[in-house]
Amino acid sequence: MDMVKQQVEEWDEQEIYEFLKEITPEESAYVDSKAIDHGSDLEKLVPHTTESIRTILHYPSPVVHIETGNSMNAKKAKSLDIFEHACKFAQENDGCVKFFNENHDRDFVTNEDYLITLDSQISSLADYEELNDRKSVTVMNRSEAMAFFGNRLSDTDE
């Protein structure tokens, strides 16, 4: 089948509106809406699945995962320079930063991702780098991460 190449006239928004208004009889085009923010109609809305949406599948890559471990909480981690450096690195590389949840994130790490542990022990997390071929995330402790971000961010600041 051959394609027909043809110049198509561009219509702006107002022209489209006028055309649709012209071809639609006056009483036939309307919207009948009803609020369902409460009451029995809202109770009738039931999801088709019991599984939650896997949002991690839609994160921009690379993902900089931050594992706080037992040494600190997320609030403290967000106040540190390493978190700011991770955010800046992710922004410059069209990625994102998230706190690592091993139960949810371990199946979705890729070889483009980074896993930074703020706890001094990284032995169990190093398995994600050492024992994976296709999904070998780069695992760094906090001093390695500071050096990594320091090198990468200083190159882009010049």
CB atoms inside a 10 Å sphere around CB 82: 16
- 37 is a domain residue: no
- Structure-block tokens of residue 75: 């609030």
> Residue 144 is part of a domain; what is its CATH number?
3.40.50
Confidence category of residue 55, pLDDT binned at 50, 70, 90: low
- 150 is a domain residue: yes
Confidence category of residue 158, pLDDT binned at 50, 70, 90: very low
DSSP label at 126? T
CA nearest to 137, candidates 87, 75, 95, 88:
95
pLDDT per residue as tens digits for the range 6-35: 666 788 888 887 887 788 877 666 656 667
Do 110 and 137 meet the contact criterion of CB atoms below 8 Å apart? yes
- 147 is a domain residue: yes
Beta bridge partners of residue 98, listed in sequence order: 65
pLDDT value for 111: 85
For residue 107, the enclosing domain spans: 60-157
- 83 is a domain residue: yes
Q: What's the structural domain count of the chain?
A: 1
pLDDT at 45 > cutoff 70: yes
